[in-house]
Structure 1
Amino acid sequence: MIYLTFTLLFAGLSALWMFQKIFYPYFWDDLMYCLKFRKVGKAIMARMKCGIITYLDCFVHQARKTPEKPFIVFENQVFTYKDVEIRSNKFANVFKTEAGLKHGDIVALLMSNEPDFVCVWLGLCQLGCEVAFLNFNTKSRSLLHCFQTCGANCLVVGSDLIKCLDDILPALLDSAIDVWVTAESASYKNVHTLLDKAELASGEKPQVDIPPPNLCSTFLLIFTSGTTGLPKAARISHIKAVMSMAFLRLCGANENDKIYMALPLYHMAASLLGIGGCIDLGATCVLKKKFSASQFWKDCIKHDVTVLQYIGELCRYLVHQPKTGEEKAHRVRIAAGSGLRADVWKEFSRRFGKIQIREAYGLTEASIGFVNYTTEIGPIGRASYFNKVNDILQTLSLPFELLKCHPETCEPVRTNTGRCVVVNKGETGLLVAPLSFTNPFLGYVGNKAMTEKKLLRDVFKDGDVYFNTGDLMLQDHRDFVYFKDRTGDTFRWKGENVATTEVSEILGCLDFLQEVNVYGVTVPGYEGRAGMAALVLKEGCELDGESLYNHLLQNLPAYSWPWFLRLQTSLDVTETFKQQKKELVEDGFCPRTIQEPLYFLDSYKKTYVPLTQHVYDDIVSGQIRL
């Protein structure tokens, strides 16, 4: 009888195990992530009940808890949590007594990756200032635009970047802007020096009168690095900053990790997710002034790095480097970031050892985000059953919807009653998220029109307000979420939407192509835009038009094929490695205006042929039909 009972029990459990493997293969991954999220959520709530509410509070708490723990390793310097706290206090006291800064003042920060970026930032936070991170790649007119847009009355600039102000310094000084440089001396008239004064300042926390924080008020200003137009200053709330600090913990990092940071600190990924993640864990940040593909794995070995933070193109640069012994001799176990293409993902995983990839999605302006905590290559995250049943997840995570949108305008489709329509699973839709306490949108400084443009009202009922991410996503039947494209990069051809990211990934699989940037160009006599691709060939390779044609034939519908190719020696990218498209789109495909080699898809010859002026004229006149 007992034998029969155990046999039946074993058979039942085996059947249940098989059922789970077949129909719910990611059940345990989802459950474990759910439990981890719940634990993190409870920790955040418990911390807040103890008065540890803001990003600054979390740092001070960690500095008290582990004062001698290395916080920042930079070149040959090591700064403990206590070192950073004392130095940030010194800066705060200088700014209070010498500059008269106080709660509510906006201070612009123009600095490279260095420990004093963090120390100055935290010092200004001590005074209750709102800090605006400026992109150090921005020059002249654009830089002045950023400064004027954020409404700052003070600027702190790194000693290595002071020359960037040559063109605009007179305008800043004429506007009675206080300019401080992180140096002991300066040759510029009316520019204040910081380090000499900080040397003499007190390392104690300054005595300031700051009201209790409103978690939905502005903590930071971060400029979006959009590929078109001038940058916009997005307001970052205190609650978003605190929630961002949990990212590395959710990816599996812990207090014993050494986290490699080569991304620019003025970007949210580095400052809030990276530095904030280290603070949350009490971990050590190995800070790099600038990313170097050739030095990357050497640094990881030298500093015993165990976690690295990436943006997708950073990984692509690494896989295109010559093979070295260091690339598998490191101890890196987790790579966390966003924007990793599937083809690069596969090669990265194959080549660099057993590194867990934690691909994620997030936005500067809002808190909606996803994490792919599985081994599935390609998705940016999951939206599993547990998200809907867990009370902590419902409180701290963010609900979202994927809306059906018009193919040409990318505006949401509305019914006769004015309501939006949700797409079915397996269909691409516009990602939107309801505004809430955990997902506030504070807007762009000085740009009400652009702020309003990001909001969707009366989406499902009167009075509701959703944040429009402008990103096209797909949730498949297994609950994986895939990033398809940004609406601004999507173009329409032959009555169909073409996702440039998808085409780029397919082309990127060809072994003779190193870089691909897909976009749409206007062709006289046609509606929409025809596909075009800027390509960089691998060293020693030539364009194989026939192979390219056959590859497209096998992998993409005909309407998404690029009709034109432009060979380049390199592709222009933003400071966060996002591809630039605006100038390429404006250049079009005319051989007279483009000096680089151009090719045209000859569907009869089933290959790409040189795009001569004669061929161009025939296309424009309609003698050659696309």
Structure 2
Amino acid sequence: MLLSWLTGLGAGMVFLHFMQKLLFPYFWHDFWYLLKVVRVGLWMEMFRLRGELVTVLDKFLKHAKRQPHKPFIIYDGDIYTYQDVDKRSSRVANVFLNYSTLKKGDTVALLMSNEPDFVHVWFGLAKLGCVVAFLNSNIRSNSLLHCIRSCELRALVVGADLLGAIEEILPSLPEDMTVWGMKDSVPRGVISLKEKLSIVSDAPVPRRHHVVSKLKSNCLYIFTSGTTGLPKAAVITQLQALRSSVGFWAFGCTADDIIYITLPLYHSSGSLLGIGGCIELGATCVLKKKFSASQFWNDCRKYNVTVFQYIGELCRYLCKQPKQEGEKNHQVRLAIGNGVRSDVWREFLDRFGDIKMCELYAATEGNICFMNHTGKTGSVGRTNFFYKLFFAFDLIKYDFQKDEPMRNEQGWCSSVKKGEPGLLIALVNAKNPFFGYTGNKKYTEKKLLYDVFKKGDVYFNTGDLMVQDHDFLYFWDRTGDTFRWKGENVATTEVADIIGMLDFIQETGVYGVAVPDYEGKAGMASIILKPNKSLDLQKVYDQVVTLLPGYACPRFLRIQEKMEKTGTFKLQKFRLVEEGFNPLKISDPLYFMDNLKKSYVPLTKELYDQVVLGEIKL
């Protein structure tokens, strides 16, 4: 009797397992992931009830005490332990305590490349309770000035290799702001931080300087192009920093992992997810000044890397490298990032071995995040019922001609059907707030949609079009006046303003066009010349390379006699984007950015073929 009962029970268990695999193949993936989400929530609530508000900095300081001699950062072969970073950052804090008037709550900007001192200065200022603004190290001139002026800075710290960029604009900087340089010999008007670091103590700074009374207080400003205009400073609170720091842990990383970071630290991916993630784990980070496709796998082998961060372009660059022996000879088990295309994803795994791709979706200033914890190729994450318990989001119909969400006769938006592209929006509420940008409130307002499904509701507009297929979400395209190129968001209005400064140009419209085998879209500028004025290709080239970051420079120019406009006088880009840059389909004069000739040159059929076939690199 017992034997038959056990046999029946075993058969039932096998049947249930089979049905679960057939009908709910991702059940256990979802179950364990949701447990982690709940655990993080309970952990934060527990500390809140105790009156202990723990920040990312607090977690770092605990690691510095518990494991002082464990490597925290490895950079160019040099090892910086948790204790080393703690002491160096305390020196930074003591410099500003002794030689400046900085106080808790003041804002200080960092203009630095990827290097250990980026972290030292960041943490040193955080120990004083300062809000730290990360400046994009690629921007120059007016864009750099705009960022500096937008944050009410008390001080600016500049890396040794970027002092030239600041020297150009020193006379235009605010008078009440001090500039510090990480070099012994600095330009006139700049204070040498490096010199002061050699004469101050590395004694710990009292915790009262950085203790926080609420997790929704500001700790960082990270610049993003958003959807229009010049870069905007997204407000990053202690709460957002904490949430970002658990990303690695949620994907299964541990304290024993060695994590390779080649992404810029001025972006949230490199700083919040990367450095913050290593702190959450108590792990070791291999920091690279700049990504190098040719050195990537050698570095992974040299430092026994087990996890690396990526953007889609990074994976594509690696796949474009010449094949070599032993490409699967490494210890990498996880890759965490966003933006990799399905075809590149598959090619990457076929070529470099059994690496779990952990794709995610998030916006620096956003209130929503998706994580593809299942490894489903091409997806940015799960969208099942359980997920919506934590993040209320929707995909709504979008008018591509008018470049705005569709609304019915009653003024409400409507959701798309599964398989149709829709604008991703996320409900703004107390659980998932939107903190917006510092400075002009209109920038924050522009990212919000009101009265979407009912009177009084508020949603964050991600500006991204997504497609939902069953319980997975896939990135489709960007909307508005932004496109993505070389892993960076390009604000079209900023590029248009720079080109429009030329005296022979009457009007400029900028948009992105798809190029085969490239992630994102390459910039194209549609130009109308002033009457009786001729096009000076050399001046256009000099203008964009001087005043724009390299990734924002338009790769193509299109000369038009007139531009189609929307009812609100915006450039009608839909048709232009569809037409691309093919000279056989476009009768308007087309030009290509030739960096060898340092000018724009006519885009011929031969040149077009070379770009499409990948013989010319963009």
Q: TM-score range by the shorter chain?
A: 0.7 to 0.9
Matching of residue 465 in structure 1 with residue 458 in structure 2: yes
User: Offset of 1:182 from its aligned partner?
Assistant: 1.2
Unaligned runs of 5+ in 2: 484-510, 529-544, 561-580, 593-600, 612-618
Q: Distance in 1 between matches of 2:260 and 2:284?
A: 9
Matching of residue 325 in structure 1 with residue 318 in structure 2: no
Residue among 589, 592, 597 paired with 1:591: 589
Give CA-to-partner distance per residue, 1:283-319, whole Å, 9 cap, x none: 0010001111000000011111000001110110000
Give CA-to-partner distance per residue, 1:354-397, whole Å, 9 cap, x none: 11100110101123111111232111000223335xxxxx4xx4
Identical residues among aligned pairs (%): 48
Q: Distance in 2 between matches of 1:597 and 1:450?
A: 37
Matching of residue 483 in structure 1 with residue 475 in structure 2: yes
Question: What TM-score, normalized to structure 2?
Answer: 0.79
Matching of residue 204 in structure 1 with residue 207 in structure 2: no
Q: Name the residue aligned to 2:306.
A: 306
Q: Name the residue aligned to 2:278.
A: 278
Give CA-to-partner distance per residue, 1:256-278, whole Å, 9 cap, x none: 00000001100000000000000
Indicate the SS of the match to 2:398.
coil
Q: Name the residue aligned to 2:167.
A: 166
User: Offset of 1:138 from its aligned partner?
Assistant: 0.6
User: Offset of 1:40 from its aligned partner?
Assistant: 3.5
After alignment, is 316-325 or 514-523 more displaced? 514-523
Indicate the SS of the match to 1:200.
coil
Q: Distance in 1 between matches of 2:454 and 2:309?
A: 40
**Which amino acid letter does the alignment assign opposite residue 92 of structure 1?**
A
**Which amino acid letter does the alignment assign opposite residue 121 of structure 1?**
W
User: Offset of 1:74 from its aligned partner?
Assistant: 0.7
1:348-427 mapped onto 2 (5 Å cutoff): 348-388=348-388, 394=389, 397-427=390-420
Question: What TM-score, normalized to structure 1?
Answer: 0.78
User: Offset of 1:113 from its aligned partner?
Assistant: 0.6
Q: Name the residue aligned to 1:194.
A: 193
**Which amino acid letter does the alignment assign opposite residue 196 of structure 2?**
K
Q: Distance in 1 between matches of 2:251 and 2:548?
A: 25
**Which amino acid letter does the alignment assign opposite residue 273 of structure 1?**
L
Whether the aligned pair in 1 keeps the contact of 2:313 and 2:519 (CA below 8 Å) is no
Whether the aligned pair in 2 keeps the contact of 1:258 and 1:305 (CA below 8 Å) is yes
User: Offset of 1:583 from its aligned partner?
Assistant: 5.7
Q: Distance in 2 between matches of 1:269 and 1:424?
A: 31
Whether the aligned pair in 2 keeps the contact of 1:30 and 1:384 (CA below 8 Å) is no
User: Offset of 1:582 from its aligned partner?
Assistant: 8.6
In structure 2, do the counterparts of structure 1 residues 321 and 579 end up closer, same or farther at CA, with 3 Å as the change threshold? farther
In structure 2, do the counterparts of structure 1 residues 227 and 137 end up closer, same or farther at CA, with 3 Å as the change threshold? farther
Q: Name the residue aligned to 2:26.
A: 26
User: Offset of 1:321 from its aligned partner?
Assistant: 0.3
In structure 2, do the counterparts of structure 1 residues 93 and 160 end up closer, same or farther at CA, with 3 Å as the change threshold? same
Q: Name the residue aligned to 2:126.
A: 125
Indicate the SS of the match to 1:260.
strand
Whether the aligned pair in 2 keeps the contact of 1:275 and 1:285 (CA below 8 Å) is yes
**Which amino acid letter does the alignment assign opposite residue 67 of structure 1?**
P
In structure 2, do the counterparts of structure 1 residues 58 and 211 end up closer, same or farther at CA, with 3 Å as the change threshold? closer
Residue among 421, 435, 448 paired with 1:455: 448
Aligned CA RMSD, in angstroms, stands at 3.3
**Which amino acid letter does the alignment assign opposite residue 591 of structure 1?**
P
Residue among 427, 439, 455 paired with 2:432: 439
**Which amino acid letter does the alignment assign opposite residue 153 of structure 1?**
R
Matching of residue 70 in structure 1 with residue 71 in structure 2: yes
Q: Distance in 2 between matches of 1:328 and 1:322?
A: 14
Whether the aligned pair in 2 keeps the contact of 1:305 and 1:332 (CA below 8 Å) is yes
In structure 2, do the counterparts of structure 1 residues 516 and 467 end up closer, same or farther at CA, with 3 Å as the change threshold? closer
Q: Name the residue aligned to 1:221.
A: 221
Give CA-to-partner distance per residue, 1:69-127, whole Å, 9 cap, x none: 11111112111111111111111111122111111211110001111101101111111
Q: Distance in 1 between matches of 2:457 and 2:202?
A: 48
Whether the aligned pair in 1 keeps the contact of 2:359 and 2:375 (CA below 8 Å) is no
Whether the aligned pair in 1 keeps the contact of 2:524 and 2:555 (CA below 8 Å) is no
Give CA-to-partner distance per residue, 1:19-64, whole Å, 9 cap, x none: 2222222222212222233334334444554725222222222222
Whether the aligned pair in 2 keeps the contact of 1:227 and 1:581 (CA below 8 Å) is no
User: Offset of 1:488 from its aligned partner?
Assistant: 2.6
The size of the alignment, in residue pairs, is: 532
**Which amino acid letter does the alignment assign opposite residue 269 of structure 2?**
A
Q: Name the residue aligned to 1:85.
A: 86
**Which amino acid letter does the alignment assign opposite residue 134 of structure 2?**
F
Give 4+ residue runs of structure 1 displaced > 6 Å after superposition: 518-524, 574-582, 585-588
User: Offset of 1:238 from its aligned partner?
Assistant: 1.5
After alignment, is 365-374 or 351-360 more displaced? 365-374
In structure 2, do the counterparts of structure 1 residues 219 and 440 end up closer, same or farther at CA, with 3 Å as the change threshold? farther
Whether the aligned pair in 1 keeps the contact of 2:56 and 2:280 (CA below 8 Å) is no
Unaligned runs of 5+ in 1: 389-393, 492-499, 509-513, 525-571, 601-607, 611-626
1:464-543 mapped onto 2 (5 Å cutoff): 464-477=457-470, 479-488=471-480, 507-508=516-517, 517=521
